[in-house]
Amino acid sequence: MDNTLQLVKDITSDICITILLNTHRTKPDKLQDRIVLKNLIQQASSRLLTFETKEKAEFLTNKLLKIEDSINHLENQESLLIFVNENIATYTRLPISVGNRVVIDTTFATRDLIRALHAETNYFILVLSEKKARLIHAMSDKLVQEIAKPFPIQNTELYPTLVREKKNASIQTQYLAEFFNRIDKEVNAIRYLHPLPVLICSEASNFHEYLKIADQKHTIYPIYFKGNHEKESAQHIVTESWKILQKHCLEKERKRLEELELALTNGNYICDINEIWGAIPEGRIQTLFLEENLFQSARITNNALILVGEEDRNLEDVVDDIYDELIEANLNHGGDVVFLPDGSFKKFNGFAAITRY
């Protein structure tokens, strides 16, 4: 999904169609995904006909239909995003839920891609010991898959064999570091295509030794699932790991909200959407706080935002979701974004920002 974000985030054209839908991993719900997608494509086609020529609307609709035919719904995760314009037709699956909708604008809707990359409920578990390493892909408390090839990795040579080596702690540490280094290289090769954070499941000493050699320490959780669990089932490891990680995620969310409360005290916050819109290009916005499913159409007139109702979202000069534009702009100016559960941010109507100065 990171590769998809890099592909579509900077594209601008007359018509960019983004279709977002929740999907399902299991039957019988999975059987309805194709029907929902077909209905969303029909909705997109109808909207295109309201402001485009019949020829262009049919051209773009046909590209959507070709994408539809290429999708294997047996591989669905939690959601599916489709991106189509005159030059691009691609899709990606996400491990987070989205709101079913069609977005037609001059740019693609990327907020859910960004949210998925920020979400910590989709992660790898590295089950680690001196003898063996396993890699498990999990989402919350659900097992997605245990990674094969090259995992599991056995330590068949990097351990002391001579009596004098076994008595030398320095040599033992050196062997272990080399084994962990090989594992780290394989983990990062997989993370290149799936850039998810890593929770280590291991004894305390191994956790700290691994951190010493890890190339991407910032992607490893500062907490870990303690103990040697290399022989346990993947689902058991996921279930127990999530109990630990869930507490960490809630604590991290609480601290981010504390940042906003402190900003309220210090006066370095903004909750007016037009003030935020004007402050982003000046580099004044550090962090945007946004409820996950808050959407708003708007018209940009003389660099001011005029919010419009649902009935006007199909008009040619209306931005389908202005929050998507704000998020992308702030990331491009070095800021970040925090997504919060719906309803957790009522006193700011679901949207606010911390300023740098």
Of the candidates 275, 277, 278, 324, the residue with the CA atom closest to the CA atom of residue 297: 324
> Over 80: is that where the pLDDT of 285 sits?
yes
- Please indicate, yes or no, if residue 22 is contained in any of the structural domains: yes
Domain ends where: 71, 93, 118? 118
pLDDT tens digits for 173-215?
Answer: 787 899 999 999 999 999 887 778 999 999 999 999 999 999 9
The token pair at 275 is 């003030």
What residue type is 127 in one-letter code? Answer: V
DSSP-assigned states of every residue in 212-250: HH-S-GGGEEEEEEES--TTS-HHHHHHHHHHHHHHHHH
Q: Are 181 and 213 in contact (CB under 8 A)?
A: yes
* Residue 274's pLDDT band (cuts 50, 70, 90): very high
Measured distance CA(58)–CA(342) in Å, rounded:
37
Amino acid at 19: I
Instruction: Report the alpha-carbon distance of residue 287 to residue 352 in Å, rounded.
Output: 9
- Per the CB < 8 A criterion, the answer to whether 85 and 15 are in contact is yes
pLDDT of 118 higher than 80:
no
Cα-based distances in Å from 304 to 13, 128, 136, 273, 279: 21, 54, 48, 10, 12
Kindly tell me if the per-residue pLDDT of 163 is higher than 50. no
Residue 166 confidence (pLDDT) above 70: no
Query: Would you state the structure tokens that stand for residue 112, as one six-digit string?
Result: 């859910």
| Residue 175 parent element (H or E) | helix 169-193
Average pLDDT of the residues of the chain = 89
* Domain extent at residue 196: 122-254
In this structure, the answer to whether residues 78 and 28 fall within a common structural domain is yes
Q: Which of 61-65, 129-133, 274-278 has the lowest mean pLDDT?
A: 129-133
The reply to whether 99 falls in a domain is: yes
Flag whether 228 is in a domain. Answer: yes
Does a structural domain hold residue 278?
yes
Q: Give whole-number Cα distances, 128 to 137, 271, 333, in Å.
A: 14, 46, 39
CATH number of the domain enclosing 101:
3.30.960.10
**167 and 240 assigned to the same domain:** yes
Phi, psi of 139, deg, nearest 5: -130, 115
Among residues 265, 277, 250, the alpha carbon closest in space to that of 340 is found at: 250
Same domain, 299 and 323: yes
Please report the pLDDT score of residue 170 as a whole number: 66
Do 223 and 336 lie in one domain? The reply is: no
| Start-to-end Cα distance in the chain | 33
Per-residue model confidence (pLDDT) at position 2: 60
Confidence at residue 82, expressed as pLDDT on a 0 to 100 scale: 97
Structure confidence at residue 1 (pLDDT): 58
Neighbouring residues of 65: CB distance < 8 A, sequence distance ≥ 6: 41
Give the model's pLDDT for residue 162: 44
Structure tokens given for 130: 């001196």
328 in the same domain as 284: yes
Of residues 249 and 91, more confidently modeled: 91
Structural domains of the chain, count: 3
- Could you tell me how far CA 159 lies from the centroid of its own chain? 38
Asked if 94 and 198 sit in the same domain, the reply is no
Question: What is the per-residue pLDDT across 343-357, written as a single tens digit (0 to 9) for each?
Answer: 877 778 889 999 998
Q: Residues 6 or more apart from 207 whose CB is under 8 A from it?
A: 128, 200, 224, 226
What is the model's pLDDT at position 349? Answer: 84
- Domain annotation covers residue 302: yes
CA distances (Å), origin 105, targets 191, 258, 281, 321: 32, 35, 21, 9
- Among 152-161, 163-172, 249-258, 323-332, the minimum mean pLDDT is found in 163-172
CATH number at residue 326: 3.30.1330.30
Q: Is 301 exposed, middle or buried (0-12, 13-18, 19+ CB in 10 A)?
A: exposed
Does 14 share its domain with 114?
yes
Q: What is the pLDDT of residues 47-100, one digit of tens each?
A: 999 888 999 999 999 999 999 999 998 888 889 999 999 999 999 988 788 889
- Arithmetic mean of pLDDT, 295-301: 92
- Report yes or no on whether pTM surpasses 0.75: no
Q: Does 340 score more than 50 pLDDT?
A: yes
- Enumerate the β-bridge partners of residue 336: 287
Q: Is residue 224 part of a domain?
A: yes
Tell which of 66, 88, 118 closes a domain: 118
4 against 211, higher pLDDT: 211
Are 96 and 201 in a shared domain? no
Residue 146, domain member (yes or no): yes
Cα four-point dihedral sign 289, 84, 12, 192: positive
